[in-house]
Amino acid sequence: MDYRIDSEIQSVKQRFEIIGNSSKLNNAIRIAMQVAPTDMSVLIQGESGVGKESFSKIIHSLSHRKHGQFIAINCGAIPEGTIDSELFGHEKGSFTGAHEARKGYFEVTNGGTIFLDEIGEMPVGTQARLLRVLENGEFIKVGSSKVQKTDVRVIAATNVELHDAISNNKFREDLYYRLNTVPIQVPSLRERGDDVLLLFRKFATDFSENYSTKPIKLDDNAKEALLKFRFPGNIRQLKNLVEQISVLEMEREISAETLLKYLPKTTSYLPALANHIENKENFSERDILYKVLFDMKRDMSEMKTLIHQILSEDGNRSEILSEHKRLFNDMESFPAEAPAEYSEPEPAPYKAPILLDSHRENLDEDDSSYEIEDITHETEEDESLSLEKKEKEMIIMALKKNNNKRKYAARDLGISERTLYRKIKQYEIDNI
């Protein structure tokens, strides 16, 4: 980067109060400066709290539309039922409560710039209307049939991966490519290195000036601890942290021990598989329930194996095994290094029903009371078959999802690859 461009970037930073010297931040500012004189659509991408709106203001202020109006709209904050009216306006009587005609943002901002934050939250129907504005500069008010023209530059921003939204039919692919003419990636705070320390000092100084106090500062160990923290809330989280410490701590020099009291513990309370399913696939509640049942059956099997081993090691307890033989007949007891082959356990011998004397007295030759235990056995078998059916469905679903790659299917199911191989043989599942 030559000196002229570098000085222009520094000038933009001072104008918009952007703190930091990381190369990724400078590159994002450079792209914003280069695209500003054009009318091209821009998609600003970055995590929540990285300052995406500041980049939209840079683009507007350095463009020929700088004397026009600039409006920032959070698409996720407008209810789905009213967002079309907010953006494109409506005619009187077009819906309940529309007592008079109203101009929308695209009409009001004609000749200016609209910043659509959280564009991924925009309803699909509204996306079709926005696409027409981007392609032809045309829109129709709600409740009207008249086509109106507008000259508005659209800058969009998102903190989600729009490719995933496209795959889930929540975002139009044609709109994505129309918006993404020039992408700008705003780096997260953890990617900006020592900029964290500069921002900490800036926020501490601002707080001290606003409230006439001495600014807090970090010792060397506290600086190291701050640099190691990932800041999922980015700049917004760092600012809140600085203000909290400034208010609550009497000592102005902050040690690492003091700082760590204010840094949240990054502990996940959800199972890893649940996170995996939530982030990568839209599994239904039924599928998650099947997974829970699958895990319960596996845990019960492991518990039976452990109890069987404990009782088997003591010869004096062998009678316990014989008395409760049926309990262990469906047990999956496999040695740790057992081969993948698996043979079904021998079925438990049928036992005649045990009847109380009071029942015997009332029995005729054709009394149906003898069917009681058979019905019980049948109910238990039905429940077992139902659980096995659900287990088989989950295995087939995981194999289909991972293109029959057993390693990844086993990871999704939360079992070992060897156990999955055995289950495939048990349920006679062919290649999907």
In this structure, what token pair is assigned to residue 368?
């149906």
pLDDT in tens, 28-39: 999 999 999 999
Identify which of 116, 111, 18 has the alpha carbon closest to the alpha carbon of residue 63: 111
pLDDT mean across residues, the chain: 80
Higher pLDDT, 273 or 82: 82
Q: Which CATH class for the 3-187 domain?
A: alpha beta
Higher pLDDT, 364 or 426: 426
Query: Which of the residue ranges 205-219, 241-255, 312-326 would you say has the lowest mean pLDDT?
Result: 312-326
pLDDT score recorded for residue 357: 46
pLDDT at 216 over 50: yes
Model confidence at 290, in pLDDT bands (50, 70, 90)?
A: low
Model confidence at 342, in pLDDT bands (50, 70, 90)?
A: very low
Query: Which of the residue ranges 15-24, 37-46, 111-120, 365-374 would you say has the lowest mean pLDDT?
Result: 365-374
What is the Cα–Cα distance from 432 to 404, expressed in whole angstroms?
6
Higher pLDDT, 415 or 249: 249
DSSP, residue by residue, 149-211? E---EEEEEESS-HHHHHHTTSS-HHHHHHHTTEEEEPPPGGGSTTHHHHHHHHHHHHHHHHH
Give how far the C-alpha of residue 119 lies from the chain's centroid of Cα atoms, to the nearest Å: 17
One-letter amino acid for residue 330 of the chain:
D
What is the Cα–Cα distance from 105 to 113, expressed in whole angstroms?
10
Residues 6+ apart with CB under 8 A from 90: 84, 98, 101, 102, 104, 141, 142, 143, 144
49 near 24, Cβ under 8 Å? no
Residues 6+ apart with CB under 8 A from 177: none
pLDDT score recorded for residue 416: 82
Query: Which of the residue ranges 26-40, 192-206, 312-326, 334-348 would you say has the lowest mean pLDDT?
Result: 334-348
What is the Cα–Cα distance from 333 to 346, expressed in whole angstroms?
13
105-119, 293-307, 356-370, 384-398: which has the highest mean pLDDT? 105-119
Q: Any idea which residue has 């399913």 for tokens?
A: 277
Strand, helix or coil for residue 330: coil
pLDDT score recorded for residue 149: 95
Parallel, antiparallel, or unpaired for β 113-117 and 70-74? parallel
pLDDT at 352 over 60: no
pLDDT score recorded for residue 321: 56
Identify which of 146, 118, 160, 116 has the alpha carbon closest to the alpha carbon of residue 134: 116
Domain segments of the chain: what residues? 3-187, 190-262, 273-354+388-426
In this structure, what token pair is assigned to residue 206?
């601002």
What average pLDDT does this structure show over 234-262?
Answer: 95
Model confidence at 273, in pLDDT bands (50, 70, 90)?
A: very low
Percent pLDDT > 70 in the chain is 73
Residues 6+ apart with CB under 8 A from 214: 208, 252
Higher pLDDT, 318 or 241: 241
What is the Cα–Cα distance from 239 to 253, expressed in whole angstroms?
17
Q: Any idea which residue has 């040695």 for tokens?
A: 335
pLDDT in tens, 375-419: 445 544 555 556 777 888 888 888 888 888 888 888 888 788 878
Give the single-character DSSP code of 250: S
Predicted TM-score of the model (pTM): 0.60
Model confidence at 431, in pLDDT bands (50, 70, 90)?
A: low
Query: Which of the residue ranges 29-43, 234-248, 363-377 would you say has the lowest mean pLDDT?
Result: 363-377
Q: Give me the residues paired with residue 148 across strands.
A: 139
DSSP, residue by residue, 346-404? PPPPP-PPP--HHHHHT--TT-GGGHHHHHHHHHHHHHHHHHHHHHHHHHHHHHHHTTT
- In our burial notation (b when 16+ CB lie closer than 10 A, e otherwise), range 270-300 reads eeeeeeebeeeeebeeebeebbeebeebbee
Model confidence at 337, in pLDDT bands (50, 70, 90)?
A: very low
Query: Which of the residue ranges 79-88, 175-184, 247-256, 347-356 would you say has the lowest mean pLDDT?
Result: 347-356
What average pLDDT does this structure show over 268-293?
Answer: 51
Residues 6+ apart with CB under 8 A from 23: none
pLDDT in tens, 6-54: 889 999 999 999 999 999 999 999 999 999 999 999 999 999 999 999 9
pLDDT at 275 over 50: no
In this structure, what token pair is assigned to residue 260?
């760590």
Q: Which CATH class for the 190-262 domain?
A: mainly alpha
